[in-house]
């Protein structure tokens, strides 16, 4: 799979938090997130392992019981089933890889390309 850069196609699951799937294979999915300052990504978990990289901005990321101040260039890996949350301290962009592929993100990708 190859995709060209496209400024559109973002979904907003929560106010001030948008994402889009950039590429996927049979075992991984690559997504970009835009997060507005002051927003909270509520505590949640999912069965997917999630590896992230903060491109810009800053956030307070809690993984399980540990909290980290994330700055550009910082990375994380969250095992499937582990609860996590984030407080967005500055407008931020993060890139994340999910494994296995998040079928919910593919459904939204298909729905977006059908319109």
pTM of the predicted structure, to 2 decimals: 0.89
The verdict on domain 12-114 having CATH code 2.60.120.10 is yes
Residue corresponding to tokens 């990289």? 53
Q: CA-CA distance, 12 to 36, in Å (whole number)?
A: 11
Residue extents of the structural domains in the chain: 12-114
19 C-beta neighbours (distance < 10 Å), count: 20
In this predicted structure, the answer to whether residue 19 has a pLDDT above a threshold of 70 is: yes
Taking only the tens place, the pLDDT of each residue in 24-81 is: 999 999 999 999 999 999 999 999 999 999 999 999 999 999 999 999 999 999 999 9
The residues pairing with 70 across neighbouring beta strands, listed in sequence order, are: 59
Checking phi first, is residue 47 left (phi over 0); if not, alpha (psi -120 to 50) or beta? alpha
Average pLDDT (97-108) is: 89
Q: Is 104 helix (H, G, I), strand (E, B) or coil?
A: helix
């Amino acid at each position: 799979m190859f995709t060209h850069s496209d400024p559109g196609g973002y979904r907003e699951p929560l106010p001030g938090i948008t994402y889009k799937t950039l590429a996927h294979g049979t075992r991984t999915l690559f997504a970009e997130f835009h997060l507005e300052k002051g927003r909270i990504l509520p505590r949640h978990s999912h069965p997917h392992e999630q590896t992230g990289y903060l491109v810009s901005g800053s956030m307070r990321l809690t993984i399980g019981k540990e909290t980290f101040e994330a700055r550009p260039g910082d990375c994380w890996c969250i095992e499937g089933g582990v609860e996590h949350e984030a407080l967005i301290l500055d407008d931020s962009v993060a890139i994340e890889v999910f494994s296995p592929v998040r079928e919910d993100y593919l459904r939204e990708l298909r729905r977006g390309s059908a319109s």
